[in-house]
Amino acid sequence: MSNEFSGRALIVVPAWNEEAAVAETVREIYAAVPAADVLVVDDGSSDRTVECAREAGALVLELPFNLGVGGAMRAGFRYALRHNYDVAVQVDADGQHDPSEIPDLLAGLAHADIVIGARFAERGAYQVRGPRKWAMVVLSKVLSLLAKTRLTDTTSGFKATGRRALPLFAEHYPVEYLGDTIESLVIALRSGCVVTQVPAHMRPRRAGNPSHSPWKATVYLFRAGFALLLALVRRWDTTVKQAVPMAAPPAAEKRMSS
């Protein structure tokens, strides 16, 4: 749009009823990557998420009703494409993702199209057990095979998406359950994108409740498996046209590759 964007990275923060955490998350992101723009996608919140995000200085995309994380992210990707950003990074509003690690993700994009901030690789004490863990292990194995590189945390939401995958995701980012993590990776891989991971910390969430119970974990296992199978057999129109951005020519094209 205007010249005030010296950088071309857009940090997309999907938020649903996160009034307690979103402002602090936005401030942290600005502190960690001052050159980037922060876009909070309000997924039909009923609380003051929008006002909080706006006060913290973020751009706010207000979805008229709840679309889920996948829908929120797709809106973010489309915004990024429309405004000619080179990179979109997903950071959750609840504060679990450490914004100071965003530069690591961006650096990883120099030789990949998608960089995952993996929660288990070396850093951090994030742990899961039981069926949820099995699901994650199987998913990691299968997706590692597809990606031809070791991916240990395929359900991480902490992800950087580069120029090549952006148009693909803006058009096809899956909106169904778990689609935003598993399916999106499969789509990207099947259309020839390079996916890698960098280690990332996982912090305790700042507000709200995590959902953990053995029953839910089992349901998770099956849904994850189903999502993966579906993603593998579905047909994707991977010949996505490079959408014509409406704003300024890509001047700062190579800024991120340093």
Considering the complex, what minimum distance in angstroms separates the CB of residue 130 from another protein?
A: 33
Smallest distance, Å, CB 64 to another protein?
5
Residue written as token pair 């039981």: 130
Binding of another protein at residue 179 (CB under 8 A)? no
Choice between 120 and 173, CB closer to another protein: 173
Compare residues 32 and 175 and give the one whose CB is closer to another protein: 175
The b/e string for 220-230 (b: 16+ C-beta within 10 A; e otherwise) is bbeebbebbeb
Please give the span between the terminal C-alpha atoms of the chain, in angstroms, as a whole number: 23
59 binds another protein per the rule CB under 8 A:
yes
State in angstroms the smallest separation of the CB of 201 from another protein. Answer: 31
78 part of the interface to another protein, by CB under 8 A: yes
Site string for another protein, 156-175 (x = CB under 8 A): -------------------x
Output the smallest distance, CB 174 to another protein, in A: 11
The token pair at 213 is: 């119970």
61 is a contact residue toward another protein (CB under 8 A):
yes
Q: Give the integer Cα–Cα distance in Å for 89 and 53.
A: 17
Residue environment code for 76-115, b if the CB has 16+ CB neighbours within 10 A, otherwise e: bbbbbbebbbbbbbbbbbbbbbbbebbeebbebbeebbbb
Q: Which residues pair with 59 in a beta bridge?
A: 39
CB of residue 242 to another protein, shortest distance in Å: 18
Distance CA 231, CA 181 (A): 11
Note whether 240 binds another protein by CB under 8 A: no
- Least separation in angstroms between CB 77 and another protein: 9
Q: How far is the CB of 258 from another protein (least distance, A)?
A: 28
Q: Work out whether 79 is an interface residue with another protein (CB under 8 A).
A: yes
Would you count residue 195 as binding another protein (CB under 8 A)? no
Angle at 82 between CA 189 and CA 102, to 5 degrees: 60
The answer to the question of residue 8 lying near another protein (CB under 8 A) is no
Residue 15's DSSP bridge partners are: 42
Is residue 98 within 8 A of residue 158, CB to CB? The reply is no
Lay out the site mask for another protein across 29-48 (x = CB under 8 A, - = otherwise): ------------x-------
Q: From edge to edge, which strands make up the β-sheet containing 87-90?
A: 59-62, 37-42, 9-15, 87-90, 159-161, 114-118, 195-199
Alpha carbons 108 and 74: distance in angstroms, whole number: 22
- Which stretch in 61-69, 106-114, 208-216, 248-256 sits in contact with another protein by CB under 8 A? 61-69
Nearer to another protein, 16 or 79 (CB): 79
Q: 120: closest CA among 136, 103, 102?
A: 136
Binding site for another protein (CB under 8 A): 1-2, 4, 41, 59-65, 67, 71, 74-75, 78-79, 82, 175
